[in-house]
Amino acid sequence: MARPLRIEYAGALYHVTARGNARANIYANDDDRQRFLSLAIIPVDRYEYED
């Protein structure tokens, strides 16, 4: 059974995570990890992420 959808609203704060099934590695190597991080920056720029 899937979890309920999150309620989204303006000004909300969200925590982003990535994990493999059963806590397995999600990267085959460092090149994969770098590719993931380069793609992860797209929404950060688009949605004006604040650290």
Domain ranges within the chain, ordered by starting residue: 24-51
Split at pLDDT 50, 70, 90, the class of 50 is: low
pTM score, whole prediction: 0.52
7-31 burial: b if 16+ Cβ within 10 Å, else e: eeeeeeeeeeeeeeeeeeeeeeeee
User: How much is the pLDDT for 49?
Assistant: 67
Residue spans of alpha helices (H) in the chain: 30-46
Average pLDDT over residues 2-27: 83
At residue 43, does pLDDT exceed 80? no
Whole-angstrom distance, CA of residue 25 vs CA of residue 20:
6
